[in-house]
Amino acid sequence: MPEQPGVAAEPHALLLDEAAVRRAVNRLAHEVVEANGGTEGLVLVGIRRRGATLAERLANAIATFEGTRPDCGALDVTLHRDDFAQRGLRSAPLPSDLPRIDGRSVVLVDDVLYTGRTVRAALDALNDFGRPNVVRLAVLVDRGHRELPIRADMVGKNIPTSPGDDVRVLLEEVDGRDAVLVVSRGGVQ
């Protein structure tokens, strides 16, 4: 199945272009270091899959201005979600791959923060790997409409949306280009 979504066929609006995504990632990288007071003990844990890609990018950006690259990990939350009974086999779980997190400052990274359920699953999964000193949340896009008491500590871009919209983050490594789009419901689905 091709990974590149057929967005051309759907009514959509471009929210962030390539340059805007790059600036948002850079700003996030600075905020992550600032919140942590440096890179000491810092671990970036991306939620598969675009969150994991973003975590790598943040680590690369931090390396350019701090001189040291923080550890990165990828967390798969498929088996921790609360909607398996409703959704069934929509996606296959992938192995998680985490560095040591005990006593360290973990920054969870994801592309879009929406209902908060993915983040809840990620916090739950993280517990099984150890006990970090602190866990923060960094997202590229916060689109609102939370269903759980969860908020991001660092946000690349706040984008007001209506619940019927579908916000898609495209990343070069996964999708062939960088962009954030909003696809209105009623498009091709």
Partner 1 sequence: MTTETMPSAGAPTSSRPAPAWRHQHILDLDNFGRDEIEAVLDTADSMREILDRRIARVPALRGRTVVNLFYEPSTRTRASFELAGKALGADVISLTAAMSSVQKGESLIDTVRTLRAMRADVIVMRHSSAGAAYLAAEHTDASIINAGDGAHAHPTQALLDLYTMRQHFGDLAGKRVVMVGDISHSRVARSDMWGLTALGARVVVCGPPTLLPRGLRASERPAHAESALPPVTVETDIERAIEGAHIVMALRLQSERQQGGLLPSVGEYARRYQVTAQRLARAHPDHILMHPGPKNEGVEIAADVATGDRSIIEEQVTNGVAVRMALLYLLAGYAPGDVDGGSR
What sign has the CA pseudo-torsion 83, 87, 93, 97?
A: negative
Least distance from partner 1 to the Cβ atom of residue 68, Å:
27
Sort strands 134-142 and 154-158 into parallel, antiparallel or unpaired.
parallel
Residue 107 contacts partner 1 per CB under 8 A:
no
The answer to whether residue 164 forms part of the interface with partner 1 (CB under 8 A) is yes
Of residues 27, 66, 129, 153, which one binds partner 1 by CB under 8 A? 129
- CB-count exposure of residue 133 (10 Å: 0-12, 13-18, 19+): exposed
Instruction: Among 9, 67, 88, 149, indicate the residue that binds partner 1 (CB under 8 A).
Output: 88
By beta-carbon proximity to partner 1, the closer residue of 58 and 125 is 125
Q: Tell me whether residue 12 or residue 39 sits nearer to partner 1 (CB atom).
A: 12
Residue 112 in the binding site for partner 1 (CB under 8 A) = yes
Between the alpha carbon of residue 146 and those of residues 24, 101, 113, 155, the distances in Å are 22, 27, 8, 15
Neighbouring-strand partners of residue 134: 105
User: CA-CA distance, 63 to 65, in Å (whole number)?
Assistant: 6
Binding mask 30-69 for partner 1 (x = CB under 8 A): -----------------xxxxx------------------
CB 155 within 8 A of CB 149: no
Residue (29 or 108) nearer to partner 1, CB: 108
**Shortest distance, position 40 Cβ to partner 1, whole Å:** 24
- Contact between 80 and partner 1 by CB under 8 A: the answer reads yes
Distance CA 44, CA 75 (A): 10
- Reading the block at residue 2, the tokens are 């091709």
Where along the sequence are the contacts to partner 1 (CB under 8 A)?
Answer: 1, 3-5, 47-51, 76-81, 83-97, 110-112, 114-115, 117-118, 124-125, 127-130, 145, 147, 163-170, 175, 181, 183, 185, 189
